[in-house]
């Protein structure tokens, strides 16, 4: 098909051949519309293979089109038929975000299949991950995190995500993985989940602190500080604004009359402090420092 496109798509005046990348984008869109003519999960094998060959032999520019439009369309209509290629796609750096987005979008409809995939990605490589390990396992774990993050954000409207199940999976990850960057990414996501929840997930997050080393703990403090400043910047209704480093923050001059609203991150850390005092847990009390 690519050869036919190359022969046909030639400028009539100067016979200048269209660039390869444009031909590949055209082929990607052509396949997308062809696939729509078939019933769910009935795309012929030779057309499937043509899409896979295109993905394997195209540039990052073409992958943008594939990730933004073509793959979401394909997986929306033919998820079961293309399910076994998700891991293969996740190994491609230029398609990781796209894979995460389309998996998150399909999380409700294909919850069991996607969750099984996430568990296998997230747990089987954990013991093998370290700072110098091959990138393959790291790609799967990082893509898993992106899927969970996007699915969680969509969940605010769809309620398809079991937060406790996710926290349990992330908890296992932060205990077993040795890669510093991945551990702190896991912790960052756990904070996001707990902030948006009222079922004591914040205490579950607190329990992971003991698994963080000194470097991770400093990174954790940085993450919490950044979240605080972002949430503080979003507040409105104060008595005046103050500019700090190019950003504006509302100030409440009469807190005894009109107190500043508390922030989700503040309520979480306050809960950690209260729980720390009850438990006399030195790892938990670290947060107060």
> What are the sequence ranges of the domains in the chain?
1-95
Decide which of 105 and 212 is more confident: 105
In the beta sheet, which residues pair with residue 10? 17
What is the C-alpha end-to-end distance of the chain, expressed in Å? 64
How far is CA 90 from each of CA 73, 274, 289, rounded to the nearest angstrom? 17, 41, 40
Q: What's residue 282's pLDDT?
A: 47
Residue length of the chain: 289
Most confident by average pLDDT, 3-17, 142-156, 248-262: 248-262
Ramachandran quadrant class, 200 (left: phi over 0; alpha: psi -120 to 50; beta: rest): left
Residues 6 or more apart whose Cβ sits within 8 Å of residue 69 = 29, 32
**Integer Cα distance of 46 and 225 in angstroms:** 53
Angle at 55 between CA 51 and CA 57, to 5 degrees: 115
> Which tens digit of pLDDT belongs to each residue from 151-197?
766 655 545 567 777 888 888 777 777 777 787 888 888 887 777 65
> Which tens digit of pLDDT belongs to each residue from 33-55?
999 999 999 999 999 999 999 99
* Residue 43 CB coordination number (10 Å): 21
- Contact criterion met (CB below 8 Å) for 51 and 62: no
């Amino acid at each position: 098909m690519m050869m036919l496109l190359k022969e046909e798509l030639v400028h009539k005046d100067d016979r200048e051949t269209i660039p390869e990348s444009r031909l590949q984008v055209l082929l990607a869109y052509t396949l997308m519309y062809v696939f729509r003519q078939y019933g769910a999960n009935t795309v012929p094998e030779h057309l499937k293979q043509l899409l896979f060959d295109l993905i394997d032999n195209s540039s990052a520019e073409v992958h943008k089109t594939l990730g933004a439009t073509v793959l979401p369309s394909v997986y929306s209509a033919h998820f079961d038929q293309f399910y076994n290629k998700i891991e293969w796609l996740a190994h491609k750096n230029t398609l990781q975000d796209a894979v995460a987005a389309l998996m998150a979008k399909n999380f409700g409809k294909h919850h069991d299949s996607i969750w099984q995939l996430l568990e296998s990605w997230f747990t089987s490589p954990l013991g093998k991950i370290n700072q110098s390990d091959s990138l393959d396992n790291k790609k799967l774990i990082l893509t898993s995190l992106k899927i969970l993050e996007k699915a969680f954000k969509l969940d605010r409207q769809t309620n398809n995500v079991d937060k406790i199940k996710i926290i349990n999976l992330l908890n296992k990850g932060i205990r077993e993985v040795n890669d510093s960057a991945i551990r702190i990414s896991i912790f960052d996501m756990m904070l996001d989940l707990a902030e948006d929840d009222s079922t004591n997930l914040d205490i579950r997050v607190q329990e992971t602190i003991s698994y963080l080393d000194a470097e991770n703990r400093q990174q954790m403090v940085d993450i919490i500080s950044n979240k605080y400043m972002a949430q503080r910047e979003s507040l409105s209704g104060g008595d005046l604004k103050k500019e700090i480093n190019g950003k504006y923050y509302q100030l409440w001059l009469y807190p005894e009359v009109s107190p500043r609203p508390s922030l989700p991150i503040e309520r979480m850390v306050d809960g950690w402090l209260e729980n720390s005092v009850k438990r006399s847990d030195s790892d938990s009390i670290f947060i107060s420092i």
